[in-house]
C-alpha cells in the first residue's frame, strides 16, 4: 500500500499548467489575465507570488471589515481552484489575478474569511490529522527530517495539501498512534463485480498514476480517463463520461482500454456565458 503523502500532489503542477494553457487559449475578452504565451502567464503568476510574499495586500470588505491577503492565502486559493476548477471559476480566477496585479485583492476576499486553508475548521483539522498521521508514511519524522524530505519532492506545491498535515504530525512530536489492524498493503484482490475507476488527466490530489495502479490491483477492472483538470470527474460536463458511467451501472459494461473522454465545453466559456454563470452563482 502506497501511503506516502508526497504522491498525492504528483500531478499538481500538471494541473496548474492546464490553467496556464487555458488562460492562453482563451481570448483576451474571455480571460482577464491573458498574455501572449502560457510561459508569460506563468511568469506573471509567479511575479504575483513574489510580490505578495514580500508585501501582503490589505483587503477592505466594508466600512468595518478588512483583512490581509498573504502569500499562504494566495497559494491556498490557487490550490483550491486546482482541486475544484468548475468552468465559472476559471474566468473568476483570471479576473482575481488581474485585479491583484493592480494591487486590488477584493476578488480574493472570500478566502480571508475562510482562513485560506484546505484543512478547514478545528474539528475537521483534528479528524484529518488523526487519519493521515495514523496511516501515512513516513509518520514519525522530526522537523529537520521533514524539511529534508519535502525538499526532495519535485513539485512547486510540495508544501501544500496533505504535507501540511504531516507538519502537524511533527508538531505532535511524531505521531505514534497506529491501530493493530492498520493496512500496510498490498491492496487489491479479485472482486465479485468488476470495478470502474475514473480519473482526470490532471488531478492535483489523486494523480493518474495512482488510478492506473489501483486499476491494475483489481483484475478485470476498467479505467476511464477524463481529459480535464481538477479533483474527480464531476466538475465538468462530459457526455462521454456520463454515458460510460450509465452503461456501467445499467449492465456492468466497462470502457475499452485506453478510453479518454473529452469535455462538452472549453475550459473558458464565452464572455457572456461566464458573466451569466457568475450572476447565477
- Mind listing the pLDDT tens digit for each residue in 100-158? 998 888 777 655 554 444 444 556 666 777 777 776 665 567 777 777 877 778 888 87
Q: Which of 138, 198, 180 is nearest to 163 (CA)?
A: 138
Per-residue pLDDT at 265 exceeds 50: yes
Distances (CA, A) of 215 to 190, 211, 276: 11, 6, 40
Average pLDDT, the chain: 79
Non-local (6+) Cβ contacts of 138 within 8 A are 4, 145, 149
Contact 197/215 with Cβ under 8 angstroms? yes
- pLDDT higher than 90, residue 250: yes
The predicted pLDDT at position 150 comes to 77
pLDDT bracket for residue 272 (50, 70, 90): very low
Predicted local confidence at residue 127, as pLDDT? 73
* Rounded Cα–Cα distance for residues 56 and 75 (Å): 13
Q: What is the pLDDT of residue 59?
A: 80
pLDDT exceeds cutoff 70 at 274: no
CB-based burial label for 12 (10 Å; 0-12, 13-18, 19+): buried
Q: How many CB atoms lie within 10 A of CB 30?
A: 22
- pLDDT at res. 119: 40
> Can you give the pLDDT at residue 215?
94
pLDDT tens digit sequence for 27-37? 888 888 999 99
Amino acid at each position: 500500500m502506497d501511503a506516502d503523502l508526497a504522491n498525492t500532489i504528483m500531478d499538481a503542477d500538471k494541473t496548474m499548467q492546464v490553467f496556464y494553457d487555458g488562460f492562453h487559449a482563451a481570448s483576451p475578452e474571455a480571460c482577464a489575465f491573458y498574455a501572449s504565451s502560457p510561459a508569460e502567464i506563468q511568469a506573471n503568476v509567479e511575479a504575483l507570488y513574489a510580490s505578495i510574499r514580500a508585501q501582503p495586500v490589505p483587503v477592505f470588505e466594508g466600512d468595518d471589515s478588512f483583512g490581509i491577503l498573504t502569500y499562504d492565502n494566495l497559494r491556498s486559493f490557487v490550490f483550491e481552484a486546482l482541486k475544484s476548477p468548475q468552468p465559472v471559476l476559471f474566468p473568476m480566477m483570471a479576473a482575481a489575478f488581474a485585479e491583484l496585479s493592480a494591487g486590488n485583492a477584493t476578488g480574493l476576499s472570500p478566502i480571508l474569511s475562510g482562513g485560506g486553508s484546505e484543512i478547514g475548521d478545528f474539528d475537521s483539522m483534528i479528524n484529518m490529522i488523526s487519519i493521515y498521521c495514523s496511516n501515512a508514511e513516513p509518520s514519525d519524522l522530526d522537523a529537520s527530517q521533514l524539511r529534508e524530505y519535502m525538499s526532495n519532492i519535485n513539485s512547486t506545491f510540495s508544501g501544500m495539501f496533505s504535507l501540511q498535515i504531516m507538519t502537524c504530525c511533527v508538531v505532535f512530536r511524531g505521531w505514534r498512534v497506529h491501530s493493530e489492524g492498520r493496512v500496510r498493503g498490498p491492496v487489491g484482490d479479485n472482486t465479485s463485480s468488476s470495478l470502474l475507476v475514473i480519473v482526470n488527466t490532471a488531478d492535483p490530489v489523486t494523480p493518474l498514476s495512482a488510478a492506473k495502479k489501483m486499476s491494475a490491483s483489481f483484475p478485470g477492472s476498467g479505467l476511464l480517463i477524463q481529459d480535464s483538470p481538477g479533483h474527480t470527474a464531476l466538475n465538468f460536463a462530459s457526455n462521454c463520461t456520463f454515458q460510460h458511467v450509465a452503461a456501467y451501472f445499467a449492465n456492468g459494461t466497462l470502457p475499452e482500454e485506453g478510453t479518454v473522454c473529452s469535455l462538452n465545453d472549453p475550459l473558458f466559456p464565452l464572455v457572456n456565458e461566464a458573466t451569466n454563470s457568475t450572476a447565477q452563482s
